[in-house]
Structure formats: structure tokens, C-alpha cells
Amino acid sequence: MNLILLGPPGAGKGTQAQHLVETRGMIQLSTGDMLRAAKDSGSEMGRIVADVMARGDLVTDEIVIGLIREKLQGDKAGGFIFDGFPRTLAQADALADLLEEQGEVLDAVIELRVDDETLIRRIVNRAEEAAAAGHPVRADDNEGAVRHRLTEYYRKTAPLIGYYHAKGQLVAVDGLGEIEDVKAAIAAVLDK
Ligand code: ADP
């Protein structure tokens, strides 16, 4: 089973992906996590993407498609959860090609729906809690960058909702409820 979790920053994609890893043995492919790991490793790619990410802009399609291509060639376990990828129509087309090359299919696209003010509040609270606990805070978890990430989402990523709807693959799930309720709603979609 291969699944895309689609939705704006702060919608809960990472939390839900982690749960699917634990309960279904799936593999989470988060391009955001991969890019942050590249940044922390001090690699050349990491240096290139650091400023782009801190502003809340998207990094180039070429870079993220390259990261995903590499992972799809590895272990497939219980299937892939694409978390934060694809984020543009070009990335969606590339993913379709990469899956086909691997003899894999996309089983579902789950759109997590959350309103803007809740998203901003969640992310800013998460950053404040991390700072108070002495944990590292993401460079893009301040209100200005979050608003820019949301603008990028509506301009470049939200068109994927229509793209996957047209393919009959999109299912919307309310992301506003308790985490446990969202887990149950996603499980209901996957076990249908
Ligand atoms: P969030 O969904 O909370 O914004 P992510 O961790 O998924 O956070 O992504 C953080 C940043 O990494 C994005 O704002 C962007 O700069 C970069 N990024 C992650 N995935 C992609 C992608 N598929 N295409 C382009 N940029 C990406």
C-alpha cells in the first residue's frame, strides 16, 4: 500500500505518518526531514537548501525528486507514505513515473483538512513549547515563515487536490479533531 498524505504545514501529516509506520510497518518518506538532515550534515545540498527552507520557499523539484528516487529503490516494507511530497504538479508527475518504474501503484491520497488560523496557532505553539523546553526550534516555525509556507501551499501544492481528485484517488479527512480521531478516520480509509 502506497499513500500520499497531502495537506498544509501543521496539518498533522508527520504525526499520522509516524502512527502508520508503527502500526502498519510502512516507510515514511518525508522530504522535509530528508532536507533538514542534509542541512544538519553540512553537505553541499544542505547549504543550498538552508536559506530557501528558512524563508518558507519550496526547494527545487530536481532536488526533492532526486531524494525520493533514491528511497524508492530501497526496501519497500509495508509500502511508502509520502509526507510533504509531492508539493508541485511536476513532482506529482515525476512520482507517477518513479512508481511505475518500480512496478508500484499509488493506492490513496489523503488530504488532511485544517483551517489556516489553527495551522498557524499549532506551529507557533509548537515552536514556543520547544523553546521553553530548551529543544531546538525549526528556523521556519516563526509566524512570518509559516504564513509564507501557507501561501506556497495554496499557490503550488493545493492544485494537487484537483489533480488527484480527477484521478479518483483523493479522500479528504478532517484534521481538526483529536489526534486519535484523525488516526481512526485514516485507518477507515485504508481498510475500506
Ligand atoms: P511543513 O509541511 O510543516 O511545512 P516540511 O518539513 O514538510 O514542513 O517541509 C519544510 C520545508 O522543506 C518546506 O517549507 C520546503 O522549503 C522544503 N520542502 C519539503 N518538501 C518539499 C518538496 N516536496 N518540494 C519542495 N520543497 C520541499
Ligand 1 proximity of 149 Cβ (cutoff 6 Å): yes
* pLDDT at res. 60: 98
Structure confidence at residue 19 (pLDDT) = 98
CA of 188 to the centre of ligand 1 (A): 27
Asked if residues 81 and 21 have their Cβ atoms less than 8 Å apart, the reply is yes
List the grid coordinates of 3: 499513500
Residue with cell 487536490: 161
Q: Is the pTM of this model over 0.85?
A: yes
Low-confidence spans in the chain with pLDDT less than 70: none
Residue 103 Cα to ligand 1 midpoint, Å, equals 27
pLDDT single digits (tens) 52-79: 999 999 999 999 999 999 999 989 999 9
Residue 121 falls in the annotated catalytic set: no
Q: Which of 5, 56, 7 is nearest to 30 (CA)?
A: 5
Residue pair 58/91 in contact by the 8 Å Cβ criterion: no
9 C-alpha to ligand 1 centroid (Å): 8
Annotated catalytic, 39? Answer: no
Give the per-residue pLDDT at 140: 95
